């Protein structure tokens, strides 16, 4: 077995995010439908004779290279729980902006867990990997599972993989250049409970059938009103997306990124140009695609523009 493995750490979009109340442990009870997209980091993991975890970071964004990084913590947790007697070296190339609601750090952690399972402990059940991932963060179980789409419940630890009929569909992702403080957004959410949330069944059925227009119309995020209220620029970006040939728009995570689903890449490209004309270079806009991470070879992957 090879001593090194490279994994694609894909970003995610929340097509649906429902909040069903506050739990006794301080977290919120969630139901969210997530899909993977090809705006991604790459994670190269190597087993070493020298004990401990070493992490180096390069790429478009600066993030910590020590225990404050989820990728580092994922490697440390895996070594502890699996009992493998080895050191771990991680090379992380950051392309997903941190704090953007795209799950970049969580995806890095999930990629490290998947790589280490394949390299050092293939006998570890996939369910155990997802269970360990839940100790690192609410989004990490989705990425540890490595699926194209999933319904995640609880605080994210209950992962039900879904068949994604949107694989290959274009999506425009807009990062406004700032992140959102999750705790603050949840506080604001509790003060703005005005909309009636949908049930997940409709969007799940549309996702699995590949009905992009229905998915777009059904996209819903319970935190959107709270986020838009704090950052009016996001409402303007959403307004601009809605003026294009978009099938539907949404907020991912607790912000700050927005996305739009499109019929084809030409329409999505025209929308990208319209955003640039209105907002200039203040936004980071990525024309991405929905993917199945299990079907993408990280070694041959090219970053979307």
Active site residue 191: no
Catalytic residue among 12, 38, 94, 272: 12
- Report the distance separating Cα 100 and Cα 112, nearest Å: 20
| Long-range contacts formed by 27-31: CB under 8 A, 24+ apart | 27/138, 27/155, 28/155, 28/186, 29/153, 29/154, 29/155, 30/138, 30/152, 30/153, 30/154, 30/155, 30/156, 31/151, 31/152, 31/153, 31/200
Catalytic residue among 38, 41, 108, 139: 139
Residue 55 phi, psi dihedral angles, 5° rounding:
-130, 130
Active site residue 94: no
Asked whether the beta carbons of 143 and 109 are under 8 A apart, the reply is yes
Strand-pair category, 258-261 with 170-175:
antiparallel
Here the tokens at position 104 are 């970049």
Beta-carbon-side half-sphere exposure of residue 52 (alpha carbons within 13 Å): 5
Here the tokens at position 298 are 């990280």
Mapped onto helix, strand or coil, the DSSP state of residue 63 is coil
Here the tokens at position 191 are 């003060």
Q: Which residues, other chains included, contact 40 with Cβ-Cβ below 8 Å and sequence gap of 6+?
A: 8, 9, 10, 11, 95, 96, 107, 301, 303
Q: What residues are labeled active site?
A: 12, 139
């Amino acid at each position: 077995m090879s001593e090194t493995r490279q994994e694609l750490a894909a970003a995610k979009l929340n097509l649906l995010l429902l909040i069903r109340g506050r739990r006794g442990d301080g977290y919120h009870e969630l139901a969210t439908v997530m899909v993977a997209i090809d705006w991604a980091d790459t994670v190269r993991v190597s087993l070493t004779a020298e004990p401990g975890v070493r992490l180096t970071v390069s790429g478009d964004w600066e993030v910590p290279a020590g225990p404050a990084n989820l990728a580092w913590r994922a490697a440390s947790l895996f070594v502890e729980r699996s009992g493998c007697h080895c050191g771990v070296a991680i090379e992380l190339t950051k392309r997903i902006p941190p704090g953007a609601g795209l799950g970049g750090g969580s995806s890095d952690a999930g990629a490290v867990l998947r790589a280490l399972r394949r390299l050092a402990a293939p006998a570890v059940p996939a369910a155990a990997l997802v269970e360990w991932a839940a100790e690192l963060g609410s989004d990490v179980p989705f990425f540890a599972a490595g699926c194209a789409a999933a319904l995640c419940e609880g605080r994210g630890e209950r992962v039900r993989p879904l068949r994604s009929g949107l694989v290959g569909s274009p999506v425009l992702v807009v990062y406004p250049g700032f992140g959102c403080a999750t705790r603050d957004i949840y506080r604001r959410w509790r003060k703005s409970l005005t909309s009636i949330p949908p049930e997940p069944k409709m969007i799940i059925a549309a996702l699995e059938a590949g009905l992009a227009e229905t998915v777009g119309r059904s996209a819903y995020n319970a935190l959107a009103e709270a986020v838009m209220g704090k950052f009016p620029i996001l409402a303007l970006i959403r307004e601009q997306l809605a003026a294009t040939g978009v099938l539907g728009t949404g907020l991912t995570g607790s912000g700050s990124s927005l996305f739009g689903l499109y019929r084809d890449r030409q329409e999505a490209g025209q929308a990208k140009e319209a955003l640039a004309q209105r907002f200039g270079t203040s936004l980071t806009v990525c024309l991405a695609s929905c993917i199945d991470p299990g079907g993408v070879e990280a070694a041959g992957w090219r970053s979307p523009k």
